[in-house]
Each structure stands twice: as structure tokens, then as C-alpha cells.
Amino acid sequence: MNFWFKLSAAFAVYSCSTIATAATVEVLHSWTSEGEAKAVEVLKSMLAERGHTWKDFAVQTGGDNAQGVLKQRIIQGKPPAAAMMKKFNLQRWERLGFLQNIDDIAVSEHWDDTLFHAAEDAIKFDGHYGAAAVGIHRTNWIWANKKILDKVNAKMPETWPEFFAVAEKIKSAGYHVVAIGDEADQLGTMFESMILSVGGPELYRKAIAELDYGAIKSPEMSRVFDMARKLQPYLYMDSDSSWNKATKLVIDGEAAFQFMGDWAKGEFSVAGKIPMKDYICAPVMQTRNQFLYNIDSLAMFKLHNAQEIDAQKDLASAIMSSNFQLTYNRYKGSIPTRQDLDLTGFDICAQMSKQELLNAEATNAELPSIAHGLAATELVQTAFNSVISAFFHDPNMSSDQAALTLSKDMRKGAYMM
């Protein structure tokens, strides 16, 4: 049975099992790259099967922009039915009383028993659910073009010394070493993996997960900045490059590596590339079995029309269904948020991701991404990404200065609402 046949059969079973009351469901999200758009199509089709009409409220160019647009809509008293957002933003809207309580669905579908711990934590606040969790992304990945590695006769580096040795070979062969767009969140994504890699899970936990300002300005953090300076000459930092344009440079064989979350895999997939044959996915050097998670969720906003509320609950239920989890996440590059699902049919990168998530859970090395809003509020997240970007733009900023500024700015961000 081919994939598409299975997919349509799955939708058919799903749609027959529930009673549909047709309504329009407006969803705000920023999944606009080619791979992401394909993943979102899965959800749209599932809703259509239930008789509902999906109204796309897609916002180009990333999360920050999307959250700004959302705020305006809420202030105008016209929230969408659902909006893509991360744990801390979600908690804020929940606290302010804007989210729909969907505990009835969660209880009847046993979300407490099936969700990965990190996913449950990302969407449950004060014991109540106000959102559905679509997928678990990992940010401490490095992606490589296999042909380039073969050409310079190199293996995927597993340590920083190995990385720099391979980087020299790649440079001499005339390729860009690391593709990265000059955007704060791309630099932040790379740097958070470096904190884990160079400082270890202990530094990451203290400085980032627990926001211990002493740990942020510590000599250990300075060492992470030292490593970033050493890496800088190998970055091909395109000023006009979104993350997926950087991925394309790796796909097209112009650059060897990209440090990026596994949404990048969606781009390799739509380009028809096969993992381990055309490209390699690997944990960032020295972070094997450690996992920085970034969980995408759709917050459900309070609505007034009964039909629209039913349709919204259908959306939440569809998201948590095994059919959705198993199809959407294959396109998106993430893994399901439910731990009871078998990943047969997923590629080797996803299999590795699930296994390493379980290993990280068991060893206390499963940690939230700061660059993508799972570790702290949006203001702290923005402060983090901005300081990292400032460091890469100012060659005179020392590592100690950078660590001190990071500590100050993150603290400032945490005090503001």
C-alpha cells in the first residue's frame, strides 16, 4: 500500500468516527517554507474531511512577526480559532483568560498518558490544556552535504577538533563551510547548541533552563563565545538569507554544513534528497544523546459561536490523532509529540531523534530551546538572540563582555512583561 493511499484511508477512518458540524477554522501560523507548507496541507485536508473550512492566516518570515500580528487581532477582539505559539506565550494568554479550556478532549483521548513529558509541559498550564502539540523539533542538529564530505575524503565530525580539520579541507576545496543567514534567530539557534556542546548539559541547564544569571556570565559561558569566535571565519553569513535559503546552499552543494533545527529536513525532503545518501543528519558535535527541544503547538482561543467551538475542538483532536502525528511530522522534520506511536516509515534522522530524546530523558539531558521560545518568555528569547547576533557583528566584543551583556540583557528581559 503506498503512502498516499494509506494517508487517504486514514483520513476516511478519522472522519467517519466523529460527527462534524461544519464551520470555518482560522489558523495563524508562520509555516511558510516549502517543506512546512507541505506539512500544513496535512492538517488542512484533515479538517476538510470533517467538513470544516480552513482559513489560512499565514505570516511570512518567522515567529516574531506572527506573534505581533496575533496581538493586534486579540486587541481588536478578533482572535483566530488557533494560533501557532510556544509554551511561554501560551501561558501568558492562558493567564490573561483568552484560551479555550480543552480538557474534555484531553481527558477522553488520554493526552496525559500518551504525550512526551516535554510536550505535556509545553501545552498544559495549571493542570489545564489550552493547546494541542503538533510536533517535537530538535535544535542541536548539524546537516551536511554528503558529496562534499566524500569529495574531501572526510567523515562527519563528532568533535570540535575534527570539525575544524574538516572545515579547512572544505575551504581549500573551494566550498563554503557553514551556510547561515544573518538573522538573530539563526545565530541564536547555532549558539544554543554550542552552549550544550562546549559547556555541557550542566551549563545549559543552569544558565538557560534555570536562568541563573551567574552561570550566564561565567567563565564557562565565555569559553562558548571563544568557540563561536573560532567558528566565525568558517561561516558563510549571507545577509539576505532565511534559514531555508541557507539549507538550499547545502542541498545544492555550495556549502557543506548548516547548524539548524530539523525543520531543515523538510527542505531536503521536498528536494527529493535521501538522508545518509545525499545528506547527513547528526547531533551537533559532542551533543550525542542530548536533546534541545522546540515544541510547536497551536493555542486554542476562546470563541463565542458554538459551531466554531466544535470545529476548534475537532482541530485539537485531529492534531493529536495518530494519523496526523504520523503524517505531518514526516513532512515537517519533527517527531510526534505522542510517545505511544511507532515510527516505522519515518527516516533514519527521525528514528535517531526519538531514540536520543528517550536517552536524554533518562540522563537529564533533555533541555528547552531558548532560541525558539521553550526556555523563557519572548522578551528573554529576543534578548538572547540579539546579544548573540551583536557578538557576531562586533569583532571587538570579547567573550567576557559578551557573556556579561547576555546575562544583563536576559535578566532585563525577564523583568519585563
CA distance 306 to 54: 17
**Angle of CA points 381, 37, 132, to nearest 5°:** 60
Query: Which residue's CB is nearer to ligand GAL, number 86 or number 146?
Result: 86
CA distance 294 to 101: 23
In the complex, what is the shortest distance from the CB of residue 150 to ligand GAL, in angstroms, rounded to a whole number?
29
* Residue (14 or 31) nearer to ligand GAL, CB: 31
Q: Pick the closer one to ligand GAL by CB: 31 or 279.
A: 31
Among 324, 349, 372, 387, binds ligand GAL (CB under 6 A): 372
The answer to whether residues 319 and 295 touch, using CB atoms and an 8 Å cutoff, is no
Q: What's the min distance (Å) between Cβ of 263 and ligand GAL? A: 4
Provide the CA 374 distance to its chain's centre, in angstroms. Answer: 9
C-alpha–C-alpha distance, residues 291 and 140, integer Å: 7
31 or 175: CB nearest ligand GAL: 31
Least distance in Å: CB of 331 to ligand GAL?
Answer: 11
**Is residue 258 a contact partner of residue 284, using CB atoms and an 8 Å limit?**
no
Region 126-155 residues binding ligand GAL, contact defined as CB under 6 A? 137
- Nearest residue (CB) to ligand GAL, 54 versus 263: 263
- Binding-site string for ligand GAL from residue 94 to residue 133, where x marks contact by CB under 6 A and - marks none: ----------------------------------------
Positive or negative torsion for Cα 413, 373, 213, 232: negative
Per-residue binding string, ligand GAL, 281-320, x by CB under 6 A, is -------------x-x------------------------
CB 66 → ligand GAL: shortest distance, Å? 9
With respect to ligand GAL, which residue has the nearer C-beta, 29 or 338?
A: 29
Least separation in angstroms between residue 32's CB and ligand GAL is 8
Assigned C-alpha cell, 202:
550542566
Smallest gap from Cβ 164 to ligand GAL, in A, equals 27
User: What is the per-residue burial (b if ≥16 Cβ within 10 Å, else e) of 298-320?
Assistant: bbbbebeeeebbbbbbbbbbbbb
**CA–CA separation, 339 vs 116, rounded Å?**
6
Give the one residue of 14, 243, 259, 384 binding ligand GAL; rule: CB under 6 A: 243
Nearest-angstrom CA–CA distance, 123 and 316 = 12
Distance from CA of residue 269 to its chain's centroid? 17
Q: Which three cell numbers stand for residue 196?
A: 550544550
Comparison of 63 and 201: residue with beta carbon closer to ligand GAL: 63
User: What are residue 117's phi and psi, to 5 degrees?
Assistant: -55, -45
The yes or no reply on residue 63 touching ligand GAL (CB under 6 A) is yes
In whole angstroms, how far apart are CA 106 and each of 114, 136, 212, 249, 316? Answer: 10, 18, 34, 42, 9
Shortest reach from residue 5's CB to ligand GAL, in Å: 28
Q: Residue 134 CB, nearest distance to ligand GAL (Å)? A: 9
Q: Please, which residue, 137 or 265, has the CB nearer to ligand GAL?
A: 137
- Residue numbers of the site for ligand GAL (CB under 6 A)? 31, 36, 62-63, 137, 243, 263, 294, 296, 372
